[in-house]
Every structure is written in C-alpha cells, then in structure tokens.
Structure 1
Amino acid sequence: MNKKLIASISAIAVVATLFAGCAKKDDSTTKTTKEIKVGLSTDEGGLNDKSFNQSADAGIKKAVNDLKVGYKAVESKTKDDYESNLDALVADGSDLVFGIGFQMETALGNVADKYSDKKFAIVDTVVNKPNVVSYTFKEQEGSFLMGVIAGKTTKTNKVGFIGGKDEALINKFEAGFVAGVESVNPTAAADLLNRKNVAYVNSFADAALGKQAAQNLINSGCDVIYHAAGGVGVGMFQAIQEANKAGNKVWGIGVDMDQAQTLPQYADIILSSMIKRVDTATYEATKSVVDDKFQGGKNVVLGIKEGAIGIAETSSKNTPKDVLDLVQKYQDAIKDGKITAPSTIDELKAFKPVDVK
C-alpha cells in the first residue's frame, strides 16, 4: 500500500509540473503583441500643405508617439494616384488605412470592397461600408466665427473668400463664413452673397492660383480674405503680404491649422485661423484599432460642441479683444444650438442674420 501511495503522489507531482510548464508558456505568449500598422494617403495637397493634410498627418504621428504604432504615409499628386496608393498601403500590411479628403471617396470605397477584411477610415466624406469609419466636420460653424472677425475688421466693407473647388464640402466653408459676415456687417456681405468676391481656383495645391485670386480680390477692394483651399492658401498669404508692403492694409484668415504657426513668415498679416481638428479624427480612429474598438460603418460628425472646431490661439495677436469677445458669444450660441450656421448655398440664401449682444 505504501509503495502504491508513493507512486500515486509521484505521478501527481509529474502532472502538476507539466501543467505548470504549460501555464508558464501560455502566459508568455499572451504578452507578445503585434504592432498595429497605419497607412495614410493624402489627396492632391500633399503632406506639407500647412493645412488639412498636415493636420491629419500630425494626428497619426501623435499616435506613433503615444500608442507605439507603425506608420507609413504616401502623397497623391493626381486623382489617378488615389486607388493605387490605397492598394499599396493594404499590400504593405497596414491594419488601418486612411483616405484623406472628400476627393478620395470613390477610390476608398472601391478598395474597401476589395479588402473586406481590412479596416479603413476617411475624412471629409462618408463611405457607407461595414469596414469604413467616416469622419466629417461642421466646417460652417468655425467659418461663421471667421466671418464675424472679417466683418468686424474690414475698413473697406469688402471681404473675400477663396475656395479650392466649388463643391459641397468647400461650400460649407463659404456659407458659414458669409453668414458670419452678414450677421455683423451686412454691407460687407453683399458682394459675398452675390459671389462677386468669391473665387474658386479648382485646386488645393497650386499656390500660384491662390496668389492670383487674392490679387484680384485685393484689386477689387477686399481688405480681409479667408481661404479654404489647402496649399493654395500659401499663395493668398503671399499676395496679402506683398500688398501690405506696397502700402495697403490687408488681412488674411487661415484654415484647418493655426496658420500663424504653420506659416510663421506670414504671422503678421494673419488675423486668425479656423481650427478643424483633423488630427483628432486620425488619432481617435487609430486608437480605436489599438484598443480593438473600431466601429466600421459609423459616421462621426465633429463640430464646436465636440471641441473639434474653433479658432486659433494666436488670434489675440492681431484681432482686437472686443472682437474676440464677440466671437466667443457667437461660439457659445452655436454650441448651445441657438444659432445654426448654414452649410449650403441654399441654406445661406434662407439664413437670417443673428445679432448677438
């Protein structure tokens, strides 16, 4: 009996040792995590547009630092590059692929269909696919605030707007801006409403076109110009700077990022910039994949209330305090739902100016 007991105890000890060894091996396996890889394709503006694409890039670079993800970005020069760039990022092993800009809607939809097991994100338009998360913004809200600044600053009562392409997205900037001007200075809004002082250049990259458009607006008497045109805006600032050196007092208003910081050489002629937190969208989408909380098929809409639309911190350098105080009142009214900024040209036509005291 004693021999049998000893044998049984020995057998149990051996089995326990084996299980302990297995448990240890399984534990080490669970600690090995795969690095998440993120890919991004810009639209035609390129990564260094000091505006929209650069903001998207900044959000993922923050994720690289905070979340330790891998990252590869490619630039599109023309629309012909969109789909091939997205294909290449999938082939490179990206766990999440971004298409930046409304112009990439068709291309990203096609690629999402081809790779239904992959995750995608797009900014500035909606792609209704189960493996795509879409981020859109209420650009009209921030543009409204820029309109308030322009309307209160102009001395000539002539204000201009330069857009990249005359399409629905950029019309949101125009409509909100004109409504803001109209609310504080109806006289200055007149040639915006009839689009006499509105210029679309059919590009988001050609700075020379932005410069020419700005020169035309300045020659027509505009002393404040707002752009929603990506890299084209650099040309606008060049024209404004040259006009000031020639003795004219003209101001520019930037977009997407604080352009007094991204383009410091023009900081002295920039009143403000409409901040659009594209970086928040790209960071949050990346984090959702890292946290295994990606929600394909969802459209995330971001505005003032969500803290994704606002005005540049450097605005106080060139914009008087009383104007910024008024801007704050309008911002609060929009946030509280008391003002709905128009997002289309038709909505602008029906908009009734709002006087906030």
Structure 2
Amino acid sequence: MLRRARGRMVGLALVVAGSLILSACGAGGGGSGGASGGESQGGGQAEQPTVRVGLVYDVGGRGDQSFNDMAYAGLERAQQEFGDRVEVRDAEPDAGGQNREDLLRAFADQGYDLVIGVGYLFTDAVTAVAKEYPDVKFGIVDSCPQEPLDNVACLTFKEHEGSFLVGAAAALKTRTGKIGFVGGMKSALIERFEAGYRAGAKYINPDVQVLVDYAGTTGEAFSNPTKGRELALAQIQQGADVIYHAAGGTGKGVFEAVKQQGKLAIGVDADQSLTAPDYADVILTSMVKRVDVAVFDLIRSVVEGDFRPGLHAYGLKEDGVGYAVNDKNRAMIEDITAQLDELKQKIIDGEIQVPETPGDV
C-alpha cells in the first residue's frame, strides 16, 4: 500500500471499525457553528456565513502525487483565499472504495453546503446521495449523472487534448521509435488519455510504435505501484524509451522502472517533476490536469452564490489541461516547446481534432 503523505491537513475523515468519524477541526479556524465575515469598515459589515465543504478522494487517497493531491490543492487554495468564509473537510475511501456513498452521505447528513466526489467512480454514489439531499450542492470530478440534477455540477476535462501534446513530445524524443503508455483502470476515461497520446505521437511520426498496457479493471488499479513497475519494465524490454502513465499512484512504479533503466517518463495530472522529485531527472514532462482549478472554481461559485449545475469542461482553451515546463525539466524539453505550443494553438483553433477513443487513431 502506498505511504500516505500526511503533513498539514485541511481536515480529516477516517473510517474506524466500519464507522465514519468526521473531524471537528478545520484549517483556518472555521468552526462548525459559523465563522466571522469580513473586516469592519466604517460602521462595519455583517458577518458572512461559513460555507461548509466536504470532499471525498478517489481510491489511493492523499499522497498519490497526482490526481487526489491536485484536488487537495484546490481545497487548500480555497481555505487560503476565503479564510473563515469556508470550512473544509476531506475523507478517504477504504482500499476498494466500497464506502464512497457512505462518506458522501455523512457529509450531506451533517448539513454541508457542498460535497465533492473526486473521480468518475463516484458517479452512482453522487447520483444516489444528491437525490436524497436536494438542498445540498454536489460536485463530481470526471463524470456526470446520466440524468441532469439541479444540485450537481460536473467537472470534466479534455484529457485527450493534453495527452496529444505529450504524445507529440514522446515521438519527438524517442530514439527507438517505440514509446509506451501505462493506464490505471481500463475504462472510457483512461482510454481518452491513451487516444490523445497515440494521436499526438502519430501526428509527429506515423510509424512510431505505441505499446499499451493497463494495470487492471477495478479502482485498485490506480494504487498498485508494483504492477506499474512490472508493466513499464516489460515495455522497456520491448524497446520503449519514453513511457507515459495515466495511473495515479501506480505511476510511481513506472517512474521507478524508467529511472532504473535510464529511460524517460511522462507524468500525469500534477507536474510530477515537482510532486515526485525523486524522479525529476527522468520526467520529460507531465500532462497537467487542473483538478485544483476546477475544485477551487466550484467552491468559489458556492461562496459567491453562483453555483451552476451541469457540465463544466476544461480543455486547452480553458487552460484546464496542458504540458508542464519548469526549471527541473526545461533542459530536457525546451528544444521542442515551440513545436508543442504550435500544436496546442492548432487544437484550440480547431485545425486539429483530437480523437477520444483509441479505435479512432
């Protein structure tokens, strides 16, 4: 099991002996009975009510250096920017994620104003609980209920667009003409990463070979670094010298294999040369998926009284996805950034249509 990064928490919820216990303390001093509002100006101003936000992570939880940690960063930013106007709590599901619905319901039952499920595996759980609590606002990352609900906002991303750019980067950097992709749970969502990656690589070099493997067919495939390492080593043995993972915590094993073999890796969701610094020297770039921005935007909408249900899609145009460049990886990628930026603009302008399924590449 992955070692959880704990540090300073915004809030904490644990499942102990099958019973849900939500913490009673939050960062920033937001008490459960409401917090003081803005500063007094002249004759002063009325206190603003506290918006209570509960967030439930995907399988793997905090410390995955990727998807869940980006959601936490959105919580953290909301606490920093809104201070006592928000009270935030977070919770982690059990290893198999079977208690997702229980965790969401616990927040709703305690009267939280906004409850967020991080990941498409929350679709059924959010749908069920949102129907039970029509006065509570809900958010779900990477999915949407099949039927529109007036109290659910769907935060989705055009992963295929960002993956196109890192696929192009892989094709520009490979020396063997073979590159790899390691996905977490085989699903329509992760296949969008694969499709974009394939398309970007083929756009640069139609003859490039893309090796593809998935870690499993359940949510646990996102928290199995041993499997990630095994799959990456197998691809390297077949000649892959650049490997992109879209596998959450499983990606740590991909990084281990790539570093051991002296190859290159491409991270996902967060800029992983920063969140996984032990592997920064082999991370060419990362396909950044701004879950932090989406979570913060949703919280802000509730704080400002502008919550809007339905679909909110983040792509290249909205700066919701992209590729990472920083001081740690600049030397590895700066010779191709002009080409990548040109491709980015072509996608934004509609000159390049990026496929969403591998079969269309």
Whether TM exceeds 0.5 here: the answer is yes
Determine the structure 2 residue equivalent to 1:220: 238
Determine the structure 1 residue equivalent to 2:88: 71
Coordinate RMSD, CA, aligned: 1.5
Determine the structure 2 residue equivalent to 1:142: 162
Determine the structure 1 residue equivalent to 2:12: none
Determine the structure 2 residue equivalent to 1:200: 214
* Structure 2 residue matching 1:160: 3-state secondary structure: strand
Which 10-residue stretch deviates more, 120-129 or 30-39?
Answer: 30-39
Matched, 1:166 2:186: yes
In 2, the alpha carbon distance for the partners of 1:339 and 1:137 equals 17
Identity over aligned pairs, percent: 39
Determine the structure 1 residue equivalent to 2:342: 329
Task: Could you tell me which runs of 5 or more consecutive residues in structure 2 were left unpaired when the two chains were aligned.
Answer: 1-42
Determine the structure 1 residue equivalent to 2:301: 288
In 2, the alpha carbon distance for the partners of 1:174 and 1:251 equals 17
In 1, the alpha carbon distance for the partners of 2:112 and 2:238 equals 50
Q: Which amino acid in the other structure matches residue 276 of structure 2?
A: L
Return the offset for 1:103: 0.7
In 2, the alpha carbon distance for the partners of 1:29 and 1:37 equals 24
Cα separation, partners in 2 of 1:97 and 1:320, compared to 1, 3 Å = closer
In 2, the alpha carbon distance for the partners of 1:130 and 1:29 equals 36
* Structure 2 residue matching 1:48: 3-state secondary structure: coil
Matched, 1:106 2:124: yes
Task: Could you tell me which runs of 5 or more consecutive residues in structure 1 were left unpaired when the two chains were aligned.
Answer: 1-27, 245-249, 349-357
Q: Which amino acid in the other structure matches residue 196 of structure 2?
A: G
Cα separation, partners in 2 of 1:200 and 1:318, compared to 1, 3 Å = farther
Judge conservation of contact 2:198–2:358 (CA < 8 Å) in 1.
no
Following superposition of structure 1 onto structure 2, how do residues 242-257 of structure 1 map, counting pairs within 5 Å? 242-244=260-262, 250-257=263-270
Return the offset for 1:226: 0.2
CA shift digits 1:228-279 (9 cap, x unpaired): 01111011001111112xxxxx100001110000001100000000111111
Judge conservation of contact 2:182–2:245 (CA < 8 Å) in 1.
yes
Judge conservation of contact 1:316–1:324 (CA < 8 Å) in 2.
no
Judge conservation of contact 2:285–2:333 (CA < 8 Å) in 1.
no
Determine the structure 2 residue equivalent to 1:310: 322
Question: Which of structures 1 and 2 has the bigger CA Rg?
Answer: 1
Output the TM-score relative to the length of structure 2: 0.83
Considering fraction of residues, name the structure with more strand.
2
* Structure 2 residue matching 1:213: 3-state secondary structure: helix
Of 210, 227, 231 in structure 2, the residue corresponding to residue 209 of structure 1 is 227
* Structure 2 residue matching 1:125: 3-state secondary structure: coil
Determine the structure 2 residue equivalent to 1:131: 151
Output the TM-score relative to the length of structure 1: 0.84
Cα separation, partners in 2 of 1:320 and 1:294, compared to 1, 3 Å = closer
Return the offset for 1:30: 7.3
Judge conservation of contact 2:283–2:329 (CA < 8 Å) in 1.
no
CA shift digits 1:83-131 (9 cap, x unpaired): 0111112233321000000111001111101111110000101123111
In 2, the alpha carbon distance for the partners of 1:206 and 1:267 equals 20
In 2, the alpha carbon distance for the partners of 1:30 and 1:62 equals 25
Determine the structure 1 residue equivalent to 2:109: 91
Determine the structure 1 residue equivalent to 2:172: 152
Determine the structure 2 residue equivalent to 1:299: 311
